[in-house]
Amino acid sequence: MRSVDSVVKKNMAERFISREKAESDLLACAAFIAERIRSGDGHAEAMSEIVPRYLAKNDVDLAAELANAVNDPFSRDRLLIIVAEKCAELDDDEYALQLVDSIEDHGLQAQAFERVALVKAGKGQYDTAAEVAESMAHSDSVYAGIAVHQAANGDQTSADATLETIDFPSARVSALQQIAATYIGSDDGPHAVNALDRAVDAANEIEHDEEKIRSLCDIGNLYIDAKRSDKAIETFDRARGLTEILDNTHRDSFLVNCALGFLHSGSSDLADRTLDMVIDKTQMASALLGFARHYWKNDEKQDAIDALDEGHEILKSQREAETRDSRARNGLLASFAVQFAAFSKSDRGIEIALENVDPNEKMAALSQIAQIQIRRKEDELARQTINLIEDEANRLFALIALSDARNKLGETSESIALLDEAASLAETVPQQSARSGVLNGIAQRYAAHGKPETVRRIAIDNLAVISEIRDESSQAAAIATVSDVYADANLEPGDIERRRLQMLAKNAEI
């Protein structure tokens, strides 16, 4: 029988995983190591990997105990939120609310109440959700969630009544958008348009200009999905008018959203005129990337290439002093590289990818280009692209991604051959944590291919690698990930694994 008091009262000295359990269970071993991490940050980081996995097993009591033992208040509260949410999913409402009450930060506690209430709304338990909402200072988001689920279940009358109880227009807008999306998904255009018309009225009540513009753009996109381009254009025009008088960094991004909205609504003229108002080069380039994708989708191939060329040239011309966000610029540059490859210009895409100063973006772009080449049966070119990735671990992750691409094409034997190659090269990765990640990725794919014994062999190798990881937090997280692989392959640890776990548990106590 659980003791709620044990959760409410923090006790760092108490531990919940026995040595015996740790020596026979992968996740328990991860938790055993995590409990003994002396660094507060390291302990919290490890538990953030472990607690959700116990929740996936529906072991809310142990998850709550492990979460509560985290010394960092913010991390502890964040973990208790997801435990409370899981309790609500399991209809253990009393325990869920007691956990919420134990959360110290008022903002996080309010978030926890909201998430618990929304879980109940999602289960159709509207009275319970409303009871939770009554205990909250700001409950509009909960009532919005109730209205959405009522409408989705066909009770529009009750949904309308619930919407009337919502004071903040932004919450009403959000609910009406979700209701409209549900109707669009079921091809009920008239009801979707009615919900969107009401959403526009609610959006016009929003006082904060940026929030109002963002809502109008979202509504405009839903009008497009509902096949009402006329209303979409009208809504984007309203958003553009409000954007023109803005005098902050959000102005250009909103103009880009409006320009793309006009384009997708069928008004190229309004799209071009709106784009002409954009000043920031990253935003301009982002818009042109969107234009290129639209043209290509509509079989306007030359226009697509021209827009992509123009966007890339604009991005390249941006000086460092003009760049507001270098991370966003590097990410966009990677997107251009991949898009050129998707437009049958792989050489240009590779050239752009190699220009990227962010090694992660460079690797991601080259990996995606190689996958595009595989889909086009350009196997040798894909191999050459992968070889351009300098970091050993990233190159192997890209090889695993190629295996996935092969598998999606139905080329099972070729997919497995790539995994075999990646497994044989894993020992070339010098950093132990990175090597463990590679081995885990390989094992997960073998599990999907229905090769449990190969999974076991790779996982045993991985446990040997993990034993050499010095950072205890990284070690615990790596073991937790191996536990996922065993679950996916429906495997239990054998004698070899148990011996490895015994050694890991023993070392954790030193």
User: How far from the centroid of its chain's Cα atoms is residue 474's Cα?
Assistant: 21
Neighbours of 56 (CB within 10 A): 13
pLDDT at 4: 52
d(CA 308, CA 136): 49
Distances in Å between the alpha carbon of 373 and those of 378, 385, 412, 416, 425? 5, 9, 17, 18, 22
Q: What does the pLDDT read at residue 5?
A: 53
275 vs 85: CA distance, rounded Å = 44
Q: Average pLDDT of each block of 10 consecutive residues along the chain (510 residues)?
A: 48 78 97 95 97 97 96 96 98 96 95 96 95 92 96 93 95 97 95 97 96 98 97 98 92 97 97 95 96 97 97 91 84 97 96 95 97 95 95 95 96 96 95 96 96 96 96 97 96 96 92
- Amino acid 10: pLDDT: 46
| Longest distance between any two alpha carbons in the chain, whole Å | 71
Q: How far, in Å, CA of 279 to CA of 507, rounded?
A: 59
Phi, psi of 268 (to 5 degrees): -65, -35
Separation CA 367–CA 384 (nearest Å): 11
Arithmetic mean of pLDDT over the chain:
94
Contacts (Cβ under 8 Å, ≥6 apart) of 40: 71, 72
d(CA 246, CA 210) in angstroms, rounded, equals: 8
The reported pLDDT for the residue numbered 308 is 97
DSSP conformation class of 491: -
d(C-alpha 470, C-alpha 433), whole Å:
9
* Backbone region of residue 266 per phi and psi (left: phi > 0; alpha: psi in -120 to 50; beta: other values): left
Half-sphere exposure of 31 (CA within 13 A, CB side): 27
Q: How far is CA 412 from CA 293, 407, 446, in A?
A: 31, 5, 11
Domain ranges of the chain: 418-491
For 119, other C-beta atoms within 10 Å of its C-beta total 24
**How far is CA 403 from its chain centroid?**
22
Contact status, residue 403 vs residue 422, Cβ threshold 8 Å: yes
Q: Residue 386 and residue 366: Cα distance in Å, rounded?
A: 7
Residues 6+ apart with CB under 8 A from 103: 77, 80, 81, 109, 112
Q: How many CA atoms are closer than 13 Å to the CA of 14, on its beta-carbon side?
A: 12
pTM attached to this predicted model: 0.89
pLDDT of residue 13: 54
